[in-house]
Amino acid sequence: MKHIIVCLVLFSFFFACKEKTNKNNIESSDETLTVKYSKYNTCLYSDVRLIQCSKKIKKADSLDIIDFKKQWVASLKAKSIIAKVRSGNKSLYILRKFLADKPIVFTEETPLRLKNDYGSKIIRKIDKGTFAFIVDEKGSWTKIYIGKINGEWITRHWVRGGFSQDSNLVKKALQLEIAEKIIKKILKKKKVSDTKKAKAKELIETLSSTSGIFQDKAKKLKEALKKHSSKDEQDADKQNKEQNKEENKEETDKKKTLVKDKDDTKPEGTE
């Protein structure tokens, strides 16, 4: 009887190991359904609960999608679509809404509409050189995601043409967007590392002196930096003058005190 029990246990263990191996083999051989791009700097998570960050990814990183699944996400307290992503020999997870179809760059000033219709209201015009993502397409209309422009969120609006998917232009547009954020921090006198400052200024200088879709945007940033530097110099001059004035006042007060002390020490009846 003992022999039979031992055999059954060994058989069960062997079957479980084989099932686990098959499962891993199936997972590693999952085919890529599609390629998506991250809309933000974010995380890929180790499991579908989206609790533990397993790998950090940058904006516009491409991701091989294996599967999509709708399920409950405790942190959101709602059901949401989760994308299963291939990362090396691992399967990681991310919210579907964090992904876009393709990165693009606008090559001309383009009207942004509320709906995919010429009669729809124009929300604003997108400057050429602006980085964006495609999130949906209907005929000749494209729904785009940009993020925040001057305090206004552009996440589900429509355009008709006016952009390019050229990888070199897209890469440069993303670099310019990053440089623009750094320049804006400098203008607001926020802390920025010297390395980031130097890289941003170098890119702005190069693009502003080179004809192309990025020149106008780069020139505006360069001019803003110039005005900021000029104001900083004026503020520094003013501060130096005030400091010199204060030092001169202190020196004068010191001399007056010395003269008074000298007068106080003179014997009575002397001049």
Counts of helices then strands in the chain (DSSP H, E): 4, 16
Tell me the C-alpha distance between 229 and 2, whole Å.
Answer: 87
Side-by-side strand order, sheet with 122-126: 122-126, 110-113, 157-159, 141-145, 131-138, 102-106, 163-164
8 Å CB contact between 38 and 61: yes
pLDDT at 229: 82
8 Å CB contact between 39 and 98: yes
- Say if residue 48 is exposed, middle or buried (CB neighbours under 10 Å; 0-12, 13-18, 19+): middle
Taking the model in full, what pTM does it have?
Answer: 0.75
Residue type at position 71: Q
pLDDT at 151: 87
DSSP string of 108-121? S-EEEESSSSTTSP
pLDDT at 245: 63
DSSP 30: P
pLDDT at 6: 47
pLDDT at 88: 87
Q: pLDDT 10s digit of each residue in the chain, 271 long?
A: 555 554 544 555 444 444 444 443 335 457 899 999 999 999 999 999 999 999 999 999 999 999 999 999 988 889 999 999 999 889 999 999 999 999 999 999 999 999 999 999 999 999 999 999 999 999 999 999 999 998 899 999 999 999 999 999 999 999 999 999 999 999 999 999 999 999 999 999 999 999 999 999 999 999 999 998 865 544 444 555 566 566 666 777 676 676 666 666 655 555 5
- Which of 253, 37, 26 is closest to 144 using CA atoms? 37
Q: Phi and psi at residue 58, in whole multiples of 5°? A: -105, 160
As a residue count, the chain comes to 271
- Residue 31 CB contacts under 8 Å (≥ 6 apart), including other chains: 66
Neighbours of 53 (CB within 10 A): 13
